[in-house]
Amino acid sequence: MRTERYIHILTIATEAVVANRFRSMLTALGIIFGVAAVIAMLAIGSGAQQEILDQIKLVGVNNIVITPINSLESGSTDEEGQDERMKQKFSPGLTLKDARSIQSIIPTVNKVSPEVVYETYILKDGKQRQAKLTGVTSDFFDIYSLTLSKGTRFNEHHMEEASPVCIIGPSIKSRFFPKEDPINKYIKCGSIWMKVIGILENRIVSEGTSENLGISDYNNTIYAPLQTVLLRYRDRSVVSASSLQSGTFFMDNAVISFSGGGSTSGGENQLDKIVVQVKESSQLIPTTRILEKMLLRRHTGVSDFEIRVPELLLKQQQRTKDIFNIVLGAIASISLIVGGIGIMNIMLASVIERTKEIGIRMATGATRRDIILQFLTEAIMISVTGGLIGIILGIVMAKIIMQLTDILTIVSPASIFISFGVSAAVGILFGYMPARKAASQNPVESLRYE
C-alpha cells in the first residue's frame, strides 16, 4: 500500500514537470551550467596535475642537474674585455673527475650520470640524417626511467673498453631500420661505425616541454658509452696546439667553435651535463648546497656552472596550478548555488499557482507528508535531470577545450560523481522549503483560492 502511494506521488510529480517542461528546463539551466563548469574545471585541473607528473617522470625523480655556463659569450668583445677575462682564475670546467668526486664523496647521492652531447650525422644504406650522439653511462637509463623495447644496456665491458656500441631511439629505428631488426646491425655515426645493441621504448616529449625542462628528444637520439664518445669522437678537455691556434675544431664534418661550452679559463667543458640523483626528496636542497660548495672549490672559486632542481620547480608549479584550480572550482560551484536558488524561486511560485490543486489533494485524503514528497520529488527531478545534462555538457566542454587550446583535460569518474551528487543535494536542499510551504497550506483556504 505504501509503495503504491509513493508511486502515485512520483507519477503526479512527473506529470507536473512534463506539463511545465519549458519552465522546468529554464529552472534547470543553472544546475546544467553549474555541473558542466565544475566538471570542465576539474578536468583542466586533473590534466594539469597529470602533465606535472609526466614531466617529473621525464626529468627523473630526486634529480639535480648541473650544466656549464659559457661566460665568454656574456662578456665584452673588445680587447680590454678579453685582457680582463685572461686575468681571471683558471677553471677546468665541468669534467668527468667532477662526476666521480660527487659519486664518491657525497653520501646522499644515489647515482651520477655524466653526459656529453654532439650533433652529428648518421648514415646507413645511403640514408643520412642529423641526430644527437649522447655519451652516457648505464645509470643514465635508471635515472630517467628509460626502458628498452629490445636489446640490452651498456655493461662494464662496454664502458671500460670504449666499445663502439649504441642504443637507438625509436625514431632512428623507424627511419633507418623500417623493415628489419636493428639489433647487432651497424650504423655509421659521423666517421665511426657503431653496433646497435638496444632500442628505447617510445616516449612522447612535446617541444615545449623539451625546451622548458632542458631534456633531449629521447626518440631521435643515439646513446653510446661515455668512454666511447670521449675516446673515439672527441674529449674536449684535451686541447691540441693546432686547435689552440685556430680557435676552431673540425670533427665529423661538423665545425666546433673553440668558445662552445667554455669556462672562464677560455677552454671547453669536457661534459655537457651532470645529473645527480639523491636518495630522498628531503635531501635535495642540502645536497644542492654541498654540490655548489664542492664544485666552486674544484673550479678554483669560478662559478662557471649552474645547478637546477627540476622536481622542486615542477612541484612549485603544481602548487600554483592547484591553487588556481581551487579558485576556478569555487567560482564554478557558485553557479550550482545560483541554480539551487533558481529552483527554490520557481518552486515557490509554483506553490502559489497550484494552491487550489494542493487544497483539492489534501481534501481528497493527501497528507502533509504526501504534499512535501510531491514538491520535493519535482525539485529533485529537475535538479537531477539538469545534473545529467550538465555531465554530458561538461564532458563535451572538456573535449572542446583540449582540442582548441591544446590544454590536457582529464574527466575523472570522481568529478562526475561529485557533480551529480551535488546537483541532487541542491534539489533536496532548495526544494524542501517550497515543499514545506505547500504542505502548510490550509485546505479550506486553498480551495477558495483563485
Mean pLDDT of 126-145: 86
Higher pLDDT, 68 or 9: 68
What is the spatial distance between Cα 257 and Cα 249, in angstroms, rounded to a whole number?
6
Please give the C-alpha separations between residue 406 and each of 315, 353, 399, 400, in angstroms, as whole numbers: 22, 50, 10, 10
Give the domain-ending residue among 270, 289, 309.
309
Overall domain count for the chain: 2
Instruction: For residues 223 and 340, state if they share a domain.
Output: no
Question: Locate cell 637509463: which residue?
Answer: 141
The pLDDT assigned to 404 comes to: 86
Give the domain-ending residue among 309, 331, 350.
309
Q: Which of 16-25, 195-204, 244-253, 422-431 has the highest mean pLDDT?
A: 195-204
Instruction: For residues 361 and 273, state if they share a domain.
Output: no
Mean pLDDT of 98-121: 90
Instruction: For residues 328 and 355, state if they share a domain.
Output: yes
Instruction: For residues 239 and 373, state if they share a domain.
Output: no
Instruction: For residues 51 and 88, state if they share a domain.
Output: no
What is the spatial distance between Cα 265 and Cα 415, in angstroms, rounded to a whole number?
58
The pLDDT assigned to 165 comes to: 93
| Structural domain boundaries enclosing 407 | 2-55+316-448
125 φ, ψ (degrees, to nearest 5): 50, 40
Across 231-379, where does the E strand assignment appear?
A: 248-251, 254-257, 273-278, 305-308
Q: Which range among 80-84, 283-287, 404-408, 413-417 shows the weakest confidence by mean pLDDT?
A: 80-84
Per 3-state DSSP, the chain is made up of helix, strand and coil in percentages (nearest 5) of: 60, 15, 25
Q: How many other β-carbons are positioned within 10 Å of the β-carbon of residue 313?
A: 14
What is the spatial distance between Cα 317 and Cα 209, in angstroms, rounded to a whole number?
13
Question: Band of the pLDDT at 315, cuts 50, 70, 90?
Answer: low
Instruction: For residues 327 and 287, state if they share a domain.
Output: no
At 40 the three-state DSSP class reads helix
Question: Band of the pLDDT at 257, cuts 50, 70, 90?
Answer: very low
Instruction: For residues 296 and 351, state if they share a domain.
Output: no
Which is it for strands 186-189 and 192-200: parallel, antiparallel or unpaired? antiparallel
Q: Which three cell numbers stand for residue 32?
A: 546544467
Instruction: Specify whether the CB–CB gap between 194 and 166 falls below 8 A.
Output: yes
What is the spatial distance between Cα 332 and Cα 423, in angstroms, rounded to a whole number?
13
CA 441 to chain centre: 58
Positive or negative, the CA dihedral 298, 301, 303, 309 is: positive
Instruction: For residues 162 and 209, state if they share a domain.
Output: yes
Instruction: For residues 143 and 288, state if they share a domain.
Output: yes
Task: Answer yes or no: is pLDDT of 50 > 70.
Answer: yes
Instruction: For residues 107 and 81, state if they share a domain.
Output: yes
Q: How many other β-carbons are positioned within 10 Å of the β-carbon of residue 438?
A: 27
The pLDDT assigned to 93 comes to: 84
Instruction: For residues 99 and 128, state if they share a domain.
Output: yes
Please state, rounded to an integer, the average pLDDT across all residues of the chain. 77
Mean pLDDT of 155-168: 89
Give the domain-ending residue among 273, 293, 309.
309
Instruction: For residues 33 and 85, state if they share a domain.
Output: no
